[in-house]
Amino acid sequence: MENCIFCKIARQEIPANIVYEDKDFMAFLDINPRAPGHVQVIPKSHSRWVWDLPEDLAGEYFKVVRKIALAQKKAFGQEVIHGRIEGKDVMHAHFWVYPDPATIGEKTDFEGNSQKIKNNL
């Protein structure tokens, strides 16, 4: 969609701290993190809700979410990783994946936190 902020991130028209990308999905740091390394996982093609994705992509979507969660566990030494389906703030399907807010670290160290996740993918 033309004016969708997450579509613009997916097309790399606006910057984001991207931690993972493949042909269908992208994962990047949330700009208002709940914890160090808070990631949004999105489908690259516009979909209003996670539930609107074609069935054959739904499993692939969760594989990416899982990959990010496992990287966060290692990157931040945190056993508790939260996941939430969101969509009222930005009208493009997104899945929050974030270490527990008790995680030690600087939430707004976007460069450092993205590197930690990438190093553990």
Report H helices in 1-121. 5-10, 55-76, 110-119
Q: Is 46 a catalytic residue?
A: no
CB 96 → Zn ion: shortest distance, Å? 16
Instruction: Tell me how crowded residue 119 is: count the other CB atoms within 10 A of its CB.
Output: 11
CB of 70 to Zn ion, least distance (A): 26
Q: Which C-beta is closer to Zn ion: that of 1 or that of 70?
A: 1
Binding site for Zn ion (CB under 5 A): 1, 4, 6-7, 46, 92
Give me the numbers of helices (H) and strands (E) for the chain, helices first please: 3, 5
> Quick one: 4 or 58, whose CB is closer to Zn ion?
4
Active site residues: 94
